[in-house]
Structure 1
Amino acid sequence: MKKLKDILYRVAVEAVYGSTDIDINTLVFDSRKVTANDVFIAIKGTVVDAHQYISSVISQGATVVVCEDLPENSQDNVVFIVVKDSQEALAIMADNFYENPSRELKLVGVTGTNGKTTVATLLYNLFKKAGFKVGLLSTVKVLVDDQEFPATHTTPDSLTINTYLRAMVENGVTHCFMEVSSHGIHQKRTKGLHFTGGIFTNLSHDHLDYHKTFAEYRDIKKSFFDELPKTAFALVNIDDKNGNVMLQNCEAKKYSYALKTVADYKAKILENQLGGLLLTINTHEVWSKLIGTFNAYNLLAIYATADLMGLESIENLRLLSELESVSGRFQYLISESGITAIVDYAHTPDALKNVLETIGAIRTNNEKVITVVGCGGDRDKTKRPKMAHIATQLSNQAIFTSDNPRSENPQTIIEEMEAGVEPQNFKKYISIVDRKQAIKTASAMAEKGDILLIAGKGHEAYQEVNGVRAHFDDYEIITETLKELQK
């Protein structure tokens, strides 16, 4: 059992009703999971305000309630802690409850619109190859050294983060790499964590359904760097105009990386082909199995981070050359009939443009590029026409289809995409609502040498329609489809 007063250390408390010198069981923010002697943290969420469940959790045995608004009928046998921000309080209390595990690790956060998963995952792989015990908190999965757990959010809730970080410490993990999303930062999920470093990859159009404006989205990302301690490093891509913005008011040690600009870590692409990339990084030449300019940035960020964390340069370059692509990130196969299929998570206009420009840079122009793409339901609608415009502009043929429609009508989503197609490109697209059928149609259109891009879902192994997630794996489907066509 832990003392409530110890769990409240560093929390901005506005009022206390009752004694904090009591034992508590655990912290809970889901009212359905409350049991005897629990601390319930009432959070005002985007959909539900948990303050309405306070009387219910007390009847379930909660002895402490942390809230922003004191209920009218408070009970004598329950301790009430009034705070300004329940989400922030939860994060700091979770850090204290699990005995500040991030301070016992070298924790590095990766933020930006694109590249977070690749950079975090490949840093995990590189440090693992270097002989360290390593942790990963990513969109795709959570790794506690060799133990794998499914991921539910890009940045999990504060309790989940600290649960995993404590497990890492207990399993001898020394380094942890973590994706830090704008949602996670805004909802204070990373508050209380002690970061050894932060990485900024890039910033482009995404999540405007949540943040409303690009400026707000940018400033949320920036707040992560504002809060880095003086002992940490801040590594930013300064080829992105927002890179220097991230460093304003940042107290951490500042470092930059770039392909086009003078920077602390500089790379140049010597060769870019389907087999991989030949780069110079700070005058050292290195070959990578990864493909495309966007991966040159990712590799440079990985090299710079490893260097800042003390990895010897030659060892760093050797391990960099051994890294392989992350699941659903420019993951490709070549069929027996000579068709190249690429599965990529590109679900933003900028990411789709990057992938198609990468394909454009390595193609011979004697082949067709056929792109299958959709847009998610219940998400930022403004990017739909932009995605369609890019797909038709940079492909020989595009097929608009469903992504994860969620609660929206998939046909309506496609129609909103179609609004972005310019008249000269009308003949370059067709629409097929059924995603599996769209992939099969694209495969049937392809001839030897052609390149198929299946964009938007990447590593996801499901499709969500009306709240139901059914198994659906782009890579699995394109593999099976191309095999069928070869028979």
Structure 2
Amino acid sequence: MILLRDILYKVTIESVVGSTSVAINNIQFDSRKVSLNDVFIAVKGSVSDGHEFIKKAADQGALAIICETMPDLIINGITYVQVANTHSALAIMAANYFGNPSEELKLVGITGTNGKTTISSLLYQLFKKAGTEVGLLSTVKILVGDTEYKTTHTTPDSLTINSYLRKMVDAGVEFCFMEVSSHGIHQKRTDALHFVGGIFTNLSHDHLDYHKDFAEYRDVKKSFFDNLPKSAFALVNIDDKNGLVMLQNTKAKKFTYALKTYADYKAQILESQFTGQLIKINNQDLWVKLIGSFNAYNLLAIYGASKLLGLEELEILQIMSTLNSVDGRFQYLISENKITAIVDYAHTPDALQNVLETINNIRTGNEQVITVVGCGGDRDNQKRPVMGKIAATLSTRVVFTSDNPRTENPEKIIEQIEAGVPAEHYKRTISITNRKEAIKAACQMAEENDIILIAGKGHETYQEINGERFDFDDFKIVKQTLTTLNK
């Protein structure tokens, strides 16, 4: 039996109507899911305000209502708790409800614009190969030991996070690696979680449809480090100018990693091929399967975090040499007629530039680089012309196409991307709205030894158009197309 007062522990309460000594069934913030004796938390979202559904929750049997503003209608037999912030209350109550599972394992949060999924997934791989019980909360999937669950958000809601952390604790998981998005931090989904470490990757243009400006986006990321405890570590990319900003007010132990400047964990790229690269990490040479400077940063973060979490250096290096790329992150194939096709999640200007520069650094210069790229709808539109400029400047040929247009007109999105193309490069570009046809066109343009980059969707196996998700897998489509053209 769980009492309301027990799950309200540490919540900032402003007033109470009714008793908090009542036994509750479950916690809900979606009024449609409320059933008898549940607690309903009226969360103010970006689309709707939970306060508008208090009466509906009461009608469905809610025993308690948590709100920021007391409703005009107070119903006898229901407890009303007014709190300072329902997002924060939800996070704290969810943690209490599930018995604060984050305190029973070692939870590491990874935040930044690019690299979160790769770092969290590779840390999961590494610690699993080291023989530990491990969990993963990522954009791509949630893993509780070997059991996989699908996920729809970079940082799930507080109830989902704590429910999976509880599953992990019950399954004997010792370490959990978690992607932490700016949305999740801003909406306080990570409040009440106990982290033993935080990793900062980098910061570039993204999510400015949600955050007012870049400064707010940066400061939201920074607040994650501000709230780390003294016992935790904060590991940041010092080559990014925002790395030091993340460390300014943190109470955690401070550590840095870099390719270009002095840092606690330092690396140098010695040799690069499409099959891998030779890197020197803290004076140890290591051949790895992941390529590009962006992956060298990712590997440094993994190396540093593994050492800080207690693994032996030799074991870390041995396992790092075996790590495989994450689906949709520089995932490549070579066709029978020697065309290299690369699928990458690069959906920000910085990520697209990193991938194209990596390709250009490896190729001999005689091959074409044919890029297929679009931008998502209902998202930050300021990055669209920037992406167009980068693609046209760093590629031989470009096919602008649809990404996940969502509720926007895909042709309008493409027009905004094209607006950034320099006049001297405009002849390199064509536009094909249908993404499958765009990939097919790129394959038809390619000749022996050419390189095709399909950017933006990576691991996603769907395309979202007007609220519907249709099956769509970039990697499968390019593989099928090149196979067919070879016949």
Please tell me the residue identity of whatever aligns with 1:263: A
In the alignment, the residues of structure 2 paired with residue 207 and residue 101 of structure 1 have an alpha-carbon distance, to the nearest angstrom, of 30
Please tell me the residue identity of whatever aligns with 1:157: D
In the alignment, the residues of structure 2 paired with residue 479 and residue 206 of structure 1 have an alpha-carbon distance, to the nearest angstrom, of 30
Aligned residue in 2 for 1:27: 27
In the alignment, the residues of structure 2 paired with residue 229 and residue 408 of structure 1 have an alpha-carbon distance, to the nearest angstrom, of 43
Aligned residue in 2 for 1:258: 258
In the alignment, the residues of structure 2 paired with residue 456 and residue 209 of structure 1 have an alpha-carbon distance, to the nearest angstrom, of 17
In the alignment, the residues of structure 2 paired with residue 230 and residue 12 of structure 1 have an alpha-carbon distance, to the nearest angstrom, of 23
Aligned residue in 2 for 1:464: 464
Aligned residue in 2 for 1:53: 53
Aligned residue in 1 for 2:38: 38
Please tell me the residue identity of whatever aligns with 2:391: A
Please tell me the residue identity of whatever aligns with 1:78: I
Deviations 1:413-460 (A, max 9, x none): 000111001110010100000000000000000000000000000000
Task: Find out whether 1:231 has 2:231 as its counterpart.
Answer: yes
Deviations 1:95-121 (A, max 9, x none): 000000000010000000000000000
The alpha carbon displacement at 1:284 in A equals 1.1
Give aligned pairs, total: 487
Q: How does 1:142-153 map to 2 (within 5 A)?
A: 142-153=142-153
Aligned residue in 2 for 1:84: 84
Aligned residue in 2 for 1:327: 327
Runs of 4+ in 1 over 4 A off after TM superposition: none
Aligned residue in 2 for 1:414: 414
Describe the SS at the equivalent of 1:205: coil
The alpha carbon displacement at 1:14 in A equals 0.8
In the alignment, the residues of structure 2 paired with residue 316 and residue 377 of structure 1 have an alpha-carbon distance, to the nearest angstrom, of 41
In the alignment, the residues of structure 2 paired with residue 465 and residue 343 of structure 1 have an alpha-carbon distance, to the nearest angstrom, of 21
Runs of 5+ in structure 1 lacking a partner?
Answer: none
The alpha carbon displacement at 1:5 in A equals 0.8
The alpha carbon displacement at 1:76 in A equals 2.0
Q: How does 1:284-299 map to 2 (within 5 A)?
A: 284-299=284-299
The alpha carbon displacement at 1:18 in A equals 1.1
Describe the SS at the equivalent of 2:176: strand
Aligned residue in 2 for 1:107: 107
In the alignment, the residues of structure 1 paired with residue 151 and residue 198 of structure 2 have an alpha-carbon distance, to the nearest angstrom, of 21
Aligned residue in 2 for 1:12: 12
Q: Kindly, what percent of the aligned residue pairs are identical?
A: 66
Please tell me the residue identity of whatever aligns with 1:422: P
Aligned residue in 2 for 1:399: 399
In the alignment, the residues of structure 2 paired with residue 43 and residue 82 of structure 1 have an alpha-carbon distance, to the nearest angstrom, of 12
Q: How does 1:5-404 map to 2 (within 5 A)?
A: 5-404=5-404
In the alignment, the residues of structure 2 paired with residue 243 and residue 277 of structure 1 have an alpha-carbon distance, to the nearest angstrom, of 25
The alpha carbon displacement at 1:274 in A equals 1.1
In the alignment, the residues of structure 2 paired with residue 151 and residue 261 of structure 1 have an alpha-carbon distance, to the nearest angstrom, of 37
Deviations 1:358-395 (A, max 9, x none): 00110000100000000000000000000000000000
Describe the SS at the equivalent of 2:351: helix
In the alignment, the residues of structure 2 paired with residue 156 and residue 172 of structure 1 have an alpha-carbon distance, to the nearest angstrom, of 22
Please tell me the residue identity of whatever aligns with 1:152: T
Describe the SS at the equivalent of 2:223: helix
Please tell me the residue identity of whatever aligns with 1:362: I
In the alignment, the residues of structure 2 paired with residue 207 and residue 218 of structure 1 have an alpha-carbon distance, to the nearest angstrom, of 11
Describe the SS at the equivalent of 2:388: helix
Aligned residue in 1 for 2:482: 482
Task: Find out whether 1:429 has 2:455 as its counterpart.
Answer: no
Please tell me the residue identity of whatever aligns with 1:220: V
Please tell me the residue identity of whatever aligns with 2:481: T
In the alignment, the residues of structure 1 paired with residue 82 and residue 212 of structure 2 have an alpha-carbon distance, to the nearest angstrom, of 29
The alpha carbon displacement at 1:476 in A equals 0.4
In the alignment, the residues of structure 2 paired with residue 10 and residue 283 of structure 1 have an alpha-carbon distance, to the nearest angstrom, of 47
Deviations 1:263-297 (A, max 9, x none): 00011111111121111111111110001110000
In the alignment, the residues of structure 1 paired with residue 273 and residue 483 of structure 2 have an alpha-carbon distance, to the nearest angstrom, of 25
Please tell me the residue identity of whatever aligns with 2:459: H
In the alignment, the residues of structure 2 paired with residue 361 and residue 92 of structure 1 have an alpha-carbon distance, to the nearest angstrom, of 48
Describe the SS at the equivalent of 2:270: strand
In the alignment, the residues of structure 1 paired with residue 327 and residue 426 of structure 2 have an alpha-carbon distance, to the nearest angstrom, of 33
Please tell me the residue identity of whatever aligns with 1:105: L
Deviations 1:35-73 (A, max 9, x none): 000000001110101101111111110010000000011
Deviations 1:202-233 (A, max 9, x none): 00000000002000000000000000000000
In the alignment, the residues of structure 2 paired with residue 162 and residue 294 of structure 1 have an alpha-carbon distance, to the nearest angstrom, of 31
Describe the SS at the equivalent of 1:372: strand
Please tell me the residue identity of whatever aligns with 2:312: E
In the alignment, the residues of structure 2 paired with residue 220 and residue 395 of structure 1 have an alpha-carbon distance, to the nearest angstrom, of 34
Please tell me the residue identity of whatever aligns with 2:74: S
TM-score (norm 1): 1.00
In the alignment, the residues of structure 2 paired with residue 290 and residue 59 of structure 1 have an alpha-carbon distance, to the nearest angstrom, of 55
The alpha carbon displacement at 1:23 in A equals 0.4
Describe the SS at the equivalent of 2:321: helix
Please tell me the residue identity of whatever aligns with 1:453: L
